[in-house]
Amino acid sequence: MRQTLLKTQAETETAFLVGVDSKVSDNWSIESSLEELSYLASTAGAKVIGRLAQKMERPSPTHYLGRGKLEELIRLREQFTYSVVIFNNELAPRQQRNLEDALKVKVIDRTALILDIFSRRAHTREGQLQVELAQHQYLLPRLAGQWSHLERLGGGIGTRGPGESQLETDRRLIRRRIHRLQSQIEAVRRHRALYRQKRKRSHIPVVALVGYTNAGKSTLLNVLSQADVLAEDKLFSTLDPVTRRLALPDGQQFLLTDTVGFIHKLPPSIVAAFRAALEELAEADLLLHIVDITHSNAAEQFQTVEEILADLNLANKPQITVLNKIDLAGGQEEMNDLAQTALAKPPDDATVVVSAIKGWGLDKVLAKIAIYLAKIATFE
């Protein structure tokens, strides 16, 4: 008797990417933005098989795309047989419902994609709580579409359908869960505050690594501290904060903290959910802004991080810019050109050039840290 083998591994989803190049866009080109979206989708386990962009003043409030492009996207399914369509901006609940009705496939946006990656990367209890909170806050306004097939049974006094009652039940459950998660995260925040107070009493300065995701922060932490933090060529390969104690050449000790990497169009809900972790940046004495100078969008990535730091009221925090991955640059002249492009100005005294993976320039990083910490101690 022939045995039938059943597949237990989920099939890889085939993704089609969609973006709108509008007047309200930032300084990223639509091509670069969709390229990063493709990288995000691959990190989440999808196979990207196509992409579509439309230039318009602003996305359509009903379907995100204009009618013609939407019809083109529907026709393209015969050619690409995609199973999910990923949009480059956060979709309003109405847009998402209309798109799923029109395309007959799963539709997700950039925010949902980032949250999916975060849920895979969070390993500590704190990180898992933060991701779950952001997921529930994202889901709450989108619940109506989940029960639209039942809501059609309702229709006025005396005809209230089960869809609406189920929807209200789900909303209450999610609100209750959000409240519980916020309470648990607040407890974590208080614990961190006590830890920081204890740390301050010990007079050990704190240096925090910031930067665009995949710029090499975790690699730099590993080589400076001989830590074993996961560092791989993927977006958000590490999510949970990691702190290590290091010593400068003169013997002074300091704490080096690695935090979550930033990204273009980082949803505000995610920034809010990670408040407890990002407070580590606010309490740091010095920031090391790590930049991948070989990336084609190094200048845009640098500016994105600076803007997020400004939004977090950290723009005036003492900062050293660390231009990383010089081993991938050509000669000295090309390296200088890359550095000037990334910073939109020539490197200055607050800049150091390194290769974290090769260990080049680490002595210069420590020397810069020593100088800055000495300045900070003078003003205290």
Is 86 in contact with 17 (CB distance < 8 Å)?
yes
Q: Are strands 14-21 and 47-55 parallel, antiparallel or unpaired?
A: parallel
Q: What is the pLDDT of residues 105-120, one digit of tens each?
A: 999 999 999 988 888 8
CA 188 to the chain's CA centroid: 21
**SS3 state at 44:** coil
pLDDT of residue 161: 44
pLDDT of residue 265: 85
pLDDT of residue 380: 56
Q: What is the pLDDT of residues 290-317, one digit of tens each?
A: 999 988 889 999 999 998 889 888 888 9
Contacting residues for 172 by C-beta, under 8 A, at least 6 apart? none
Determine the CATH number of domain 14-117: 3.40.50.11060
Q: Grade residue 35 by pLDDT with cuts at 50, 70 and 90.
A: very high
Is 373 in contact with 253 (CB distance < 8 Å)?
no
Q: In angstroms, rounded to a whole number, what is the distance separating the alpha carbons of residues 221 and 231?
A: 10
pLDDT of residue 156: 41
Q: In angstroms, rounded to a whole number, what is the distance separating the alpha carbons of residues 324 and 214?
A: 11
pLDDT of residue 352: 92
Q: Which CATH class is domain 204-379?
A: alpha beta
Closest Cα to residue 90, out of 70, 109, 113, 108? Answer: 109
> What string of H, E and C letters represents the secondary structure of 212-243?
ECCCCHHHHHHHHHCCCCCCCCCCCCCCCCEE
Q: In angstroms, rounded to a whole number, what is the distance separating the alpha carbons of residues 301 and 215?
A: 9
pLDDT of residue 7: 53
Q: Grade residue 342 by pLDDT with cuts at 50, 70 and 90.
A: confident
Q: In angstroms, rounded to a whole number, what is the distance separating the alpha carbons of residues 69 and 52?
A: 9
Q: 357 is written with which tokens?
A: 């993976």
The average pLDDT across 191-199 equals 74
CA 316 to the chain's CA centroid: 23
The average pLDDT across 54-69 equals 93
Amino acid letter for position 149: H
Q: In angstroms, rounded to a whole number, what is the distance separating the alpha carbons of residues 336 and 210?
A: 22
Q: E strands within the chain?
A: 14-21, 47-55, 84-87, 106-109, 206-211, 242-247, 253-258, 286-292, 319-324, 351-353
What is the percentage of the chain residues whose pLDDT exceeds 70? 82
